[in-house]
Structure formats: structure tokens, C-alpha cells
Homo-oligomer: A and B are copies of this chain.
Amino acid sequence: VTTIGSETEFINTLIGRFEPSPRRRNAPHEADAELIELFGGGLTGNTHLLAVTTDTISEEIETGLYRDPYQIGWMAVTASLSDLAAVGAAPLGLLISETLPEGYGSEAIEQLQEGISDGCRSARTHVLGGDTNTGQLLSITGTAIGLVYHRHRLTRRGCAPGDILYASGRLGRGNGFALAVFGNGRSGHFPGGYLPRARVREGLLLPGAATSCMDSSDGLFSTLAQLAALNRVGFRIAEAWEDALDRTSLEIVRSAGLPAWLLLAGCHGEFEQIFTVGESRRDSFTEKAGSIGWNPVEIGTVTEGPGVLLPVCGGTRNIDVAYLRNLSFRRSGGIGKYLDAILQYEHEMAKGE
């Protein structure tokens, strides 16, 4: 889970100065997981690349978004595995480093481990090892490790105008959950709970079929902004995009008088895979997906760009995804001001601006 902002950009600049590994087969930020050459001497004799990714769950705990220990454990696993799924990797397993507050109750500790365990089980993988520390604040780092065939390397880069844009499932559940937790006077109750399943099984079908892929952990608009910049393309969202939204979350925004596209704009994503498939491969891909009982959702097409076009407010608007993804509860000075900014943006779109 990556924060966006000037401080993070500064950190990324510094990290960009790290001497690059000669083993890494992807450019920085080009893939959700790093793709590493296992054995030296170029790719000859390397049938596989190692896929590795690390993710710390701390902000979501500090802000109060994740409170339930079981959910925290589950999310630590899911966030990392979702990054593996985005490169189509088969997991070898996870390392988990836990920092537990002194006096964190034994029941909470048990639930946390159960969430980790169940998160792994849902993706048919295992904890390989880890580290335990005590500290003032709860924090969990998951590191997922997997393998991909190097001939079918899948990254965020590779889509072209005309490709079809897919989501691995319905969108908006992450933002719906965040709204239930932080929203005006709400109880925090979110029907069905928020325990997204990492799309590992589905991800295995993507290499060779998809032209690019990225998970929606930071929300759809943020994901599209990054895919657009990396591929120098744009996106046209389909007319029927509201059909692709999670029903529970849609009800929450509607009953709060908020626009439905908030579910795509918010930065707490749903851990679906956002990927592109060439027109000519559509049928064979859909068939393959169907064979495992998976129905990916067509949400649009890749365009020459620039920009993300959304049919909304009676017209087609070029969404300022950079502006919207930089809005966040914290940076906006609280949920109230954030939602005011969203409503203001809706108002301007309605005026046709």
C-alpha cells in the first residue's frame, strides 16, 4: 500500500537512486511485483523468474480503517498476494513480520494469526517463516514470493489502443468499506465484511493472454492513472460502468447522497486485478476464464489518450485522475472535507466543466 504525495515522491526519488540489481527484469514501478532472474548468465537456462513483493499494513491500522485483528492478518496476506497475482505468479509462500504492542491481548493475537492462516488458505499457499517483535504500535509486513515463466512476463506495461479493459471482479468494495468506517455518523458496519480474496488463481490465467495488469489496491482511478502514464495511452470507461460496482458499496454511497464514481476515485481499493486483453484474444481468454468459473468484468477500452473518459452527468468527461487520487481523507483534513471535494467535483462535471 503506497502513499502518494510529495514526501513519498521524494522518497521514491531517493530509492530510485539505489544501484539497480542486474538480476531485476523489470524497471522500477513497472510491475506490482519485482521480477528477478534466479540464475546468472542472462535468461538462457532460466525458465522461470522469481516474483517478489513486500507490503506493510500500518497506515490502515493507525487511521482506524482496520480494527479487527482477524481482518488485519487477512489483509497483510492479501495485499502481498494480490501483487503476485498481478504478474501472474504461482506463490511459493509468504514471510510475515509482526510487530505487536506489549499487552496486545492473547485473543487478539490468536485472531490475527487466524486471519493470516485463512488468508493463505484462501489462496492455497503457506506462511514460510517470519519475525516477531514487540512495539508501541501494531504493524504487519507481508512478503510474498512466487514464480512466473519468463517467456510470459506480465507487467503493468504492454497495452495498446484497442485493447479491452477488464476488472477481475466488481469494483468499489474497498472504498465502500472505508466509507462505512469513516462516513458521517455511521456505525462502521459493512454488510458481508471486507475480506477481499487475492486473485491468485485468476492471475495464473493472465500471462500470455493479458497485455498489462495492475491490482486496484489504490482504487481504480489511481490504477488507471499509472497504467496510462506507463503505456502512454488513455482509457474509455464503458457506458454501463455502474453495473460493475459492488452492490453493497453502491447502496452506501447512494444513501449518503454521494456520486457512484466515488467508489472508483477513492484510494482504498478492492484488490481486484485491472488488466487489458487484445481484441483478437478476447474470445479465447473469456473461454479460459469461464473454465475456472470466473467472469471477468469488461469495464472499458484502451484509447490513444490522453486521459480517462467516464460517461457521467449526461456526457463523457475527461476525469482528472491525478487530482482525485491525490485527494485523501488525511490530506483533505478529514472525511468531511474529502467528501466536500468529491461533491464539488461532481458539481463541476454536471455544469459540463
Contact in complex: B109, A11 (CB < 8 Å): yes
Contact in complex: A54, B130 (CB < 8 Å): yes
Does A289 lie at the interface of the complex (its beta carbon under 8 Å from any beta carbon of B)? no
Does A312 lie at the interface of the complex (its beta carbon under 8 Å from any beta carbon of B)? no
Copy total for this chain: 2
A120 to nearest B CB, angstroms? Answer: 8
Q: Name which of A18, A116, A132 has the most chain B CB atoms within 10 A of its CB.
A: A18
Taken together as a complex, chains A and B put the C-alpha atoms of A135 and B53 apart, in Å, by: 20
Contact in complex: B36, A128 (CB < 8 Å): yes
Q: A residues 39-54 with Cβ under 8 Å of B?
A: 39, 48, 50, 52-54
Taken together as a complex, chains A and B put the C-alpha atoms of A125 and B96 apart, in Å, by: 22
Contact in complex: B100, A11 (CB < 8 Å): yes
Taking CB atoms, residues of chain B closer than 8 Å to A133 are 1-3, 56, 58-59
Taken together as a complex, chains A and B put the C-alpha atoms of A20 and B93 apart, in Å, by: 10
Does A10 lie at the interface of the complex (its beta carbon under 8 Å from any beta carbon of B)? yes
Contact in complex: A7, B134 (CB < 8 Å): yes
Taken together as a complex, chains A and B put the C-alpha atoms of A47 and B134 apart, in Å, by: 38
Taken together as a complex, chains A and B put the C-alpha atoms of A145 and B23 apart, in Å, by: 12
Given contact pairs A38-B147, A137-B137, A15 touches B95 in the complex (Cβ within 8 A) = no
Q: A residues 153-183 with Cβ under 8 Å of B?
A: none
A353 to nearest B CB, angstroms? Answer: 33
A42 to nearest B CB, angstroms? Answer: 15
Given contact pairs A98-B11, A109-B14, A129 touches B34 in the complex (Cβ within 8 A) = yes
A23 to nearest B CB, angstroms? Answer: 6
Contact in complex: B132, A12 (CB < 8 Å): yes
Which residue on B lies nearest to A117, using beta carbons?
Answer: B18
Does A216 lie at the interface of the complex (its beta carbon under 8 Å from any beta carbon of B)? no
Does A226 lie at the interface of the complex (its beta carbon under 8 Å from any beta carbon of B)? no
